[in-house]
Amino acid sequence: MDIKKPFVVGAGIMGSGVGQLCAQQGLEVTVADISDELIQKAEGKIKAGLARRIEKGKISQEDMDSVLSRMNWSTNLDIAGECDFVLEAIYEDLGAKQELFRKLDSICTPETILATNTTALSVSEIASATSRPDKVIGMHFFNPAVIMKLVEIIRGDNTSEETIETTRMFAESLGKIPITTAKEAPAGIVSRVLAGLLNEAAAVYADGVASPEDIDEAMKLGAGLPMGPLALIDMIGLDIHLAKMETLYEKLEDERYKPPEIIKKMVAEGKLGKKAGEGFYKY
């Protein structure tokens, strides 16, 4: 089944990025959030990003206009009933995601796949809130969604092969390279492997070994990373990183995944990273 009308819930970093990606690939997309204010903020960021690309000579004004004309914004979830694929990208909170999936299950046609962009929550637990666990799947984009090539496809215990195949083909139609996990797996591949590196960088900072700038520069020059680990945590969002660590620690019962105190402290102080104006760096 070709996906023609996707619906994205959550106009934050990931949802608005995936919405923009869909529109850039020629699809009519709707991105939903809970308030007009949040929607205007997300739309403003996308417009500003596209305007910068015009200034750099990468796209034309017509390109920008045509992308924006395919992006619809809404606070009304009922529109999901007219769409053929839903991607959820709201807060990393199981209760909130289950409540949303319950609503989507009652709004969407029985054929509609309900995908979650969760970083680490259980796809099966999210699916349990619906009457269609075979059509619930993890579709994990990376930040920035427009640029990053990988989409991890994470199965729940009851996800059907047909759902996996449709989601894989949808990812490819968006110009991405999908990699599918062999089983339900908290945090999939990349986020789990990265967790240790990011925590260790935070621990090196908390121990006073070096400044964020020096830690990041050292990791770029010495480990060949494209960006420093602390700048990456800021870009991901410290709240998202913390939620991921809490899930990994709970599910895998391994001390390696214990959420670092420094991250908990910074989240409590509202230092959530780039989106909040301050994390390890000020923006």
C-alpha dihedral over 79, 72, 240, 202, to 10 degrees? 170
The yes or no reply on residue 129 touching ligand NAD (CB under 6 A) is no
Burial category of 191 from C-beta neighbours within 10 Å (exposed 0-12, middle 13-18, buried 19 and up): buried
Name which position in 3, 29, 86, 240 contacts ligand NAD (CB under 6 A).
240
The yes or no reply on residue 279 touching ligand NAD (CB under 6 A) is no
Structure tokens at 54: 């015009």
CB of 123 to ligand NAD, least distance (A): 12
Mapped onto helix, strand or coil, the DSSP state of residue 32 is strand
Beta bridge partners of residue 150, listed in sequence order = 177
The yes or no reply on residue 117 touching ligand NAD (CB under 6 A) is yes
Mark residues 132-161: x for contact with ligand NAD by CB under 6 A, - for none: --------xxxx------------------
CB of 109 to ligand NAD, least distance (A): 20
Q: How many CB atoms lie within 10 A of CB 169?
A: 14
User: Which residue's CB atom is positioned nearest to ligand NAD?
Assistant: 12
Pairing label, strands 136-141, 150-154 = antiparallel
CB of 103 to ligand NAD, least distance (A): 8
For ligand NAD (CB under 6 A), the number of binding residues is: 28
Structure tokens at 45: 């960021």
Q: Is residue 69 a contact partner of residue 29, using CB atoms and an 8 Å limit? A: no
Structure tokens at 77: 């979830």
Mapped onto helix, strand or coil, the DSSP state of residue 105 is helix
The yes or no reply on residue 86 touching ligand NAD (CB under 6 A) is no
The yes or no reply on residue 234 touching ligand NAD (CB under 6 A) is no
Which stretch in 4-12, 56-64, 168-176, 221-229 sits in contact with ligand NAD by CB under 6 A? 4-12
Name which position in 6, 133, 228, 237 contacts ligand NAD (CB under 6 A).
237
* E strand or H helix at 38: helix 36-55
The yes or no reply on residue 119 touching ligand NAD (CB under 6 A) is yes
Per CB under 6 A, residues contacting ligand NAD are 9-15, 32-34, 38, 89-92, 96, 100, 117-119, 140-143, 236-237, 240, 275
